[in-house]
A and B are shown apart, each in its own frame.
Chain A
Amino acid sequence: MKKFVLAGLVSTLLVACGTSVPLNDVPVEDATAKAVGADAAAAGSGVQGGGVAPVDLGRAVDQAPAPADSRLVYFDYDSFVIKPEFQAVIAAHARFLRAQPTRKVAIEGHTDERGGREYNLALGQKRAEAVRDALSILGVPSGQMEAVSFGKEKPVVLGSEEAAFAKNRRAEIRYP
């Protein structure tokens, strides 16, 4: 703000230059507003103060259908322990993956909506890694598996009550 240059027209960034006149009592100092983005002039629609070039990655093609129960492991609140009722699900995937050594699998951890986004991402990662480790114990090579987390970003049930929370605290086993 204090670095207004005297010679303005040298710069190709017209919007980024300004002149400074000593402040006596007569004219107010003349300073052309500096564009906020450094490359505003080059940014197409960047006449606006910001100079933001939009990037659009497109729309969702089809929302992936909710996975079948045979690909879901649910967890208790604040827990990463695989409950006994899900051992059969994990054992079935382990058998499949051992028989199909070229197949890759993604294990995606999720949390309920309570708490911060990044901390929930770390909690979801612990759930995904718990399932990955259980598969590993059953003989699935780690090179076939990737444990990732969506934290609280992808709830399957909306709502702020325990029934919704319980459905969202999960790991999904997905074959790309």
Chain B
Amino acid sequence: MKFCPLPRLLEVYRFFCFGLLLLATVPVFAQFRIEVSGVGLTQVPVVIAPFKGQEALPQKISEIIRADLERSGQFRVIASPAGVFDEASRPELSALRQSGADAFASGSVSKLADGRFDVRFRLWDVVKGQDLGGRSFAVAVPDLRLAAHRVADDIYEKLTGDKGVFSTRIAYVTKAGPRYQLWVADADGENAQSALASPEPIISPAWSPDGNQLAYVSFESRKPVVYVHNVSTGKRRLIANFKGSNSAPAWSPDGSTVALTLSRDGGSQLFLLAATGGEPRRLIQSPSIDTEPVYSPDGQHIYFVSDRGGTPQIYRVSARGQGVERITFTGTYNISPTISQDGRWLAYISRVGGAYKLHLMNLTDGTVSVITDSVADESPSFSPNGKMLVYATQQQGREALMTSTLDGKVKARLSGQHGDIREPHWGPFFK
């Protein structure tokens, strides 16, 4: 099937002015908060009616969809008119138009004979009075959240023309006492499943491009070594256990190669290794620290951090190891680069007056903006559609994960685990 993006709707996006430096905090549901700040936010006003039949379920489908859409920063969810709606309802379009809605979604969830649930929805363009179509998903109870995320993805794509990321997954690490755990969760932080539990630290998880494997650094053998871990089978492969430290794995876009940092020949230096293991080849040689490699989405370049200029800065080199260029020039501490799928944006952490803040550079013109006002940001990674970032930070002295839009105007704290939570990495779209 083909989705039809709606440029017409873009024309009627309303312009919302939240007032100078107004900071509004909108509670969505108990453990979930979205912060909206700044001026000139453009959002599609949309109604998500409560799904018929969801009262009987632990998962309120329409609330999950609503939280997804609001977290994306591109939608403002407005109150549903009174009454019960499902995917067969024809909404009162003129009344919806008067309430300021541009789009209306309704649906239902019902139990099937085999025990699964059928989640259906339909979306309307309120302005044009047009039925934009719908879908149905038959899922087992544990996948009800996934079905809701898929509905949110469909709505997002139909209204913005970009693919939604709500049904993708995020990996992250928690530390609770002496126990470290690597988790795989939905993109909203919920439904976390443990992939690995260890008494020693786990850092730098990185999704393979097919979304089936995680590379990460584990200290389980009292030194940092790199594993590749098939998430659905639990099978782990030790790909880098060379003398010294083995760290900072990053997948090539074709999944064949892992770039990583090895100290086996002295110093922290960049190497390339087949994802199945084997003998590493040196990417570049320097007398300085070179680490945190990450491939550009076209596979042509590797961005990395080096202190060759005296302070840690972001550089890039061709994937064949030629032509090192410096990328960041402002500040004295720029680390943890990550590149958006379209190659347009570089997100990284920069130290500003003793605070570590998430920054974004437009790679086309080199302009830099600060995304956060927090002080201990770490480990940014882009959503696969390049429209959001997830990163680690500290809130009230605890580690937390946040998502942000690229303009920093809409941020949400991911719910989920208790204790310290860190090292997020946003997984790819599922093929």
Number of interface residues of B (CB under 8 A): 83
The yes or no answer to A67 lying at the interface (CB within 8 A) is no
Nearest Cβ in chain B — how far from A108, in angstroms?
Answer: 8
> From residue 23 to 65 of chain A, which have CB atoms closer than 8 A to chain B?
23, 25, 27-40, 42-43, 46-61, 63
Does A169 lie at the interface of the complex (its beta carbon under 8 Å from any beta carbon of B)? no
Which B residues lie within 8 Å of A114 (CB)?
Answer: 356
Interchain CB contact under 8 A, B292 and A2: no
Residues of A within 8 A of B167 (CB): 36
Q: Which residues of B contact A149 (CB under 8 A)?
A: 224, 245, 263
Please tell me if the beta carbons of A118 and B1 are within 8 angstroms of each other in the complex.
Answer: no
Bitwise, A123-154 to B at CB < 8 A (1) or not (0) is: 10110010000000000000000111111011
User: Which chain A positions have C-beta within 8 A of B220?
Assistant: 57
Chain A nearest CB: distance from B175 CB in Å? 9
Question: Contact at A148–B224, with CB atoms within 8 Å?
Answer: yes
With A2-B1, A148-B244 known to touch, is A33 a contact of B139 (CB < 8 Å)?
A: yes
* Distance A47 CA – B153 CA, assembled complex (angstroms): 21
**Contact A116/B178 with A29-B1, A43-B233 known, Cβ cut-off 8 Å:** no
Please judge, given known A-B contacts A37-B232, A146-B244, whether A47 and B134 are in contact too, CB under 8 Å.
Answer: no
Can you pick out 11 interface pairs between chain A and chain B where the beta carbons lie within 8 Å of each other?
Answer: A15-B143, A33-B139, A55-B197, A115-B333, A116-B349, A118-B305, A119-B292, A122-B261, A123-B289, A148-B223, A151-B224
Whether, in the assembled complex, B50 has its beta carbon less than 8 Å from a beta carbon of chain A, the answer is no
The interface residues of chain A lying within 8 Å CB-to-CB of B378 are: 116-117
A1 on the B face (CB < 8 A) = yes
Find chain A residues with CB under 8 A from B335 CB.
Answer: 115-116, 118-119
Contact of B219 among A2, A46, A150 (CB under 8 A): A150
B169 surroundings in chain A (CB, below 8 A): 36, 50
B303 within 8 A of A: no
B135: A residues at CB distance < 8 A = 28-31
Contact with A along B137-164 (1 / 0, CB 8 A): 1111011011100100100000000010
Of B119, B198, B422, B430, the residue contacting A36 (CB under 8 A) is B430
CA distance A34 to B147 in the complex (A): 9
| Contact between B201 and A150, CB atoms less than 8 A apart | yes
Contacts of B184 in A (CB 8 A): 50, 52
**For A4, A118, A125, A150, which residue has the most chain B Cβ atoms within 10 angstroms?**
A118
Q: Are A119 and B305 in contact (CB under 8 A)?
A: yes
Asked if residues A47 and B140 are in contact (CB atoms below 8 Å), the reply is yes
A105 part of interface (Cβ distance < 8 Å): no
Q: In the bound complex, what is the Cα–Cα distance between A48 and B192 (angstroms)?
A: 10
Contact B143 A48 (CB under 8 A): yes
A30 to B133 alpha-carbon distance, docked (Å): 12
| Pair A117/B423 contact, Cβ less than 8 Å | yes
Q: Assess the B142–A47 pair: CB atoms within 8 A.
A: yes
Contact B198 A57 (CB under 8 A): yes
Q: Is the CB of A33 within 8 A of B263?
A: no
Is B259 located at the chain interface by the 8 A CB criterion?
no
User: Which B212-229 residues have a C-beta within 8 angstroms of A?
Assistant: 212, 217, 219-220, 222-224, 229
Query: When chains A and B are docked, how far (Å) is the Cα of A118 from the Cα of B153?
Result: 33
Chain B residues, Cβ within 8 Å of A129: 263, 266-267
CB distance from A62 to the nearest CB of B (A): 10
B289 touches which of A38, A54, A122, A151 (Cβ 8 Å) = A122
Task: Report whether A118 and B203 are in contact in the complex, using a CB–CB cutoff of 8 Å.
Answer: yes
1/0 contact trace for B184-207 toward A, CB 8 Å?
Answer: 101000010111111111011000
Q: Which of A59, A108, A121, A129 has the most CB of B within 10 A?
A: A121
Chain B nearest Cβ from A161, distance in angstroms: 13
The answer to whether A29 touches B133 (Cβ under 8 A) is yes
Residues of B close to A35: CB separation below 8 A? 143
How far apart are A5's CB and chain B's nearest CB, in angstroms? 12
Verify A153–B150 contact, CB threshold 8 A.
Answer: no
Q: How far apart sit A104 and B243, CA to CA, in the bound complex (Å)? A: 13
- B403 cross-chain contacts in A, Cβ below 8 A: none
> Is B418 in contact with chain A by the CB < 8 A criterion?
no
Residue of B147, B220, B222 with most partner-chain A CB within 10 A? B222
B48 to chain A, nearest CB (A): 16
Question: What chain A residues lie within 8 Å of B212 (beta carbons)?
Answer: 37-39
A108 vs B153: C-alpha distance in the bound complex, in angstroms?
A: 47
With both chains docked as a complex, state the minimum distance between the C-beta of A93 and any C-beta of chain B, in angstroms: 18
Q: Output the least CB separation between A21 and chain B (Å).
A: 9
Pairwise interchain contact A58-B137, C-beta atoms closer than 8 A? no
Using A117-B203, A147-B263 as known contacts, list a sample of 5 further A-B pairs with CB atoms less than 8 Å apart, ordered by residue number in A.
Answer: A23-B1, A29-B134, A32-B139, A117-B422, A118-B248
B122 interface residue (CB < 8 Å to A): yes
The 9 tightest CB contacts between A and B, nearest first, are A53-B234, A60-B199, A28-B134, A52-B193, A49-B146, A37-B232, A122-B268, A148-B223, A153-B201
Q: How far is the CA of A111 from the CA of B131 in the complex (A)?
A: 59
Whether A119 pairs with B291 at a CB distance below 8 angstroms is: yes
Does B33 lie at the interface of the complex (its beta carbon under 8 Å from any beta carbon of A)?
no
Cross-chain contact A121 with B136 (CB below 8 angstroms): no
Kindly state the separation between the CA atoms of A51 and B267 in the bound complex, as whole angstroms: 39
B231 at the interface (CB under 8 A from A): yes
Q: How far is the CA of A54 from the CA of B204 in the complex (A)?
A: 18
Q: Does A106 contact B (CB under 8 A)?
A: yes
Report B233-250 CB contacts with A as 1/0, cut-off 8 Å: 110100000011101100
Asked if B281 is at the interface (CB within 8 A of a chain A CB), the reply is: no
List of B residues within 8 angstroms of A121 by Cβ? 203, 217, 224, 245, 247-248, 261, 268, 291
